[in-house]
Amino acid sequence: MTDRASSSATSAAPAGLLPRLVRLQRTDPPRDWSWLGPEARASLGTVIPLTGGEQMPAILARANVQAWAVEVAGQWQGVYLCADNVQHRVTRVAWAALPGAAGLALLERSFAQLTDQLLSGGSEKVTVQLLASACRRLWPLLRRNTRFFLEGRLRQQWQPGLQRYEDLFILSALAQADMRPQRGSLWLSEPARASGQRFFGRWAALPPSAPLAESTARGSTLIDTPPYQLRTLGAKDVNDRLVEFLNAPELAASMNLPRFRFTLASARALLASFDRHLHQFIGIFRQETAELIGFYTVSVNEAARHAHLALGIHPAQAAASHTMVDTITPLTDSYFQRFAIEKITGNVLVSNRRMLLTLAHNYTFLLEAVLRQECVVGGSRQDVVVFSTFRDRSLRPQRGSFSPGREQE
């Protein structure tokens, strides 16, 4: 039997016929996904990392994934891939049109319908990450927007399938009716819209400014940066002090961790889950006393040339801000030198005021996005702030600023 996707891969939607959304079930027979070219894989990869069409059957079998085909006259014209975060009730959506399909017209007819389906089906937020190269093509659609608002711009995201860096714009819709922009706007408020700022400009093509070179050293971390030492920890390093730290309510609240009572055994199991290489649990110690006062977790994705970082400081440390300012740049620079990455990102809950106030002294991390109502914390929704730093120092902000200074909007 000829598969509908492959048979319509080179045909545009017949004129005068309206597209129809069709939910693909996990029990549907396997389909031919060979039509997914590099651009389509890059688009769908903003939801789930995708290197080839052969991965799609396994991806669609996941419990938190759903796919919707857009059909015209019974033939596939494109597909939406949706991934649900069940804990926070947020759904990420990506779109890929078959070669030759009328992509913009299909989106105009189907995307609002899909958004309503997802929000009425239990999701409280729908998010789309748009490749910067696609924004101008989609601008006619965005001009009629009444639901989505712009949350931020992720700079210099490596796209493995395209073999290039590209910015990603984050657009989201919330179930709350009062969190919607005016028609044709990407802003939530009139003052922001009236400010005249634009998000679709290009950065000036400036040469890199003293990028950090890579070294051949890999593996565990050991950094002496007086008065602190940063050191990768393993299961054997777990003691009562670390268990007490992990059980602190303030830590769980600031990092949005699940309520869990750690013991020596479970804390050792936690640290054993880190491989001491691409995924590290790094203790922050006072050099003079060897006292553990905090930790970083860092996870590296070398295929995406990216790493994600989280920081926890012991609640009893009054000078937590000094600890972060004094240690985070040596740590991130060490990672840039040891691993094939170009960017490191950290997410901070907006309620974590101790961390956000510290970033006023920042000269390493750039503010990229404020994700509205991204997490469920204590039964209510809370914003998340996204910060990133880069190997290329010219992309970093001036001290105390969250703007790189070279952006031209």
What whole-number distance in Å separates Cα of residue 132 and Cα of residue 201? 10
DSSP tag of 338 = H
Alpha helices in 236-378 (DSSP H): 240-246, 249-255, 264-272, 320-338, 353-358
Mean pLDDT lowest among 126-140, 313-327, 334-348, 368-382:
313-327
Q: pLDDT tens digit string along 87-96?
A: 999 999 999 9
Is 131 exposed, middle or buried (CB count within 10 Å of its CB: 0-12, 13-18, 19+)? buried
Higher pLDDT, 315 or 284: 284
Q: Which residue's structure tokens are 């929704």?
A: 381
Asked if residue 216 has pLDDT above 80, the reply is no
Instruction: Pick 1 or 56 by higher pLDDT.
Output: 56
Residue 4 near residue 74, CB atoms below 8 Å: yes
Note the pLDDT of residue 67. 95
> Letter for the amino acid at 239?
N
User: What is residue 11's predicted lDDT score, i.e. its pLDDT?
Assistant: 41
pLDDT for 401 = 65
- Residue 307's H or E segment, with its range, is strand 306-313
What percent of the chain is modeled with pLDDT above 90? 54
**Cα dist from 99 to 9, 102, 140, 296, whole Å:** 5, 9, 20, 45
- Supply the pLDDT for residue 218: 67
**Cβ distance 52 to 41 under 8 Å?**
yes
Look up residue 210 and give its DSSP letter: S
- Indicate the fold that domain 222-395 takes in CATH: Aminopeptidase (3.40.630)
pTM (two decimals): 0.85
Residue 240 CA to residue 244 CA, distance in Å, equals 6
DSSP state of 63: T
- Over residues 82-134, the pLDDT tens digits come to 999 999 999 999 999 999 898 888 998 899 999 999 999 999 999 999 999 88
State the pLDDT at residue 407.
42
The class (CATH top level) of 4-194 is: alpha beta
- Kindly report the average pLDDT of the chain as a whole number: 84
394 burial (CB, 10 Å; 0-12 / 13-18 / 19+) is: middle
Q: 142-156, 310-324, 327-341 — which one is most confidently predicted on average?
A: 327-341
Q: What is the mean pLDDT of residues 362-384?
A: 88
pLDDT score of 2 = 24
Does residue 268 have a pLDDT over 50? yes
DSSP string, 265-289: HHHHHHHHTS-SSSEEEEEEEETTT
Q: CATH topology of 4-194 equal to that of 222-395?
A: yes
pLDDT of residue 180: 86
- When pLDDT is cut at 50, 70 and 90, the band that residue 3 belongs to is very low
The reported pLDDT for the residue numbered 213 is: 59
Domain boundaries, the chain: 4-194, 222-395
* Measured CA distances, 185 to 127, 144, 374 (Å): 16, 8, 21
Give the C-alpha separation, 71 to 82, whole Å.
17
Lowest mean pLDDT among 264-268, 313-317, 398-402: 398-402
Report whether pLDDT(7) > 50. no
> Coil, strand or helix: which one is 380?
strand
Q: Which of 148, 177, 85, 93 is nearest to 122 (CA)?
A: 85
What pLDDT digit, counting tens, does each position of 223-261 carry?
Answer: 999 999 999 999 999 999 999 989 988 887 777 777 778
Distance of alpha carbon 325 from alpha carbon 362, whole angstroms: 7
Apex CA 366: angle with CA 334 and CA 278, to 5°? 35
| Span 7-29, average pLDDT | 67
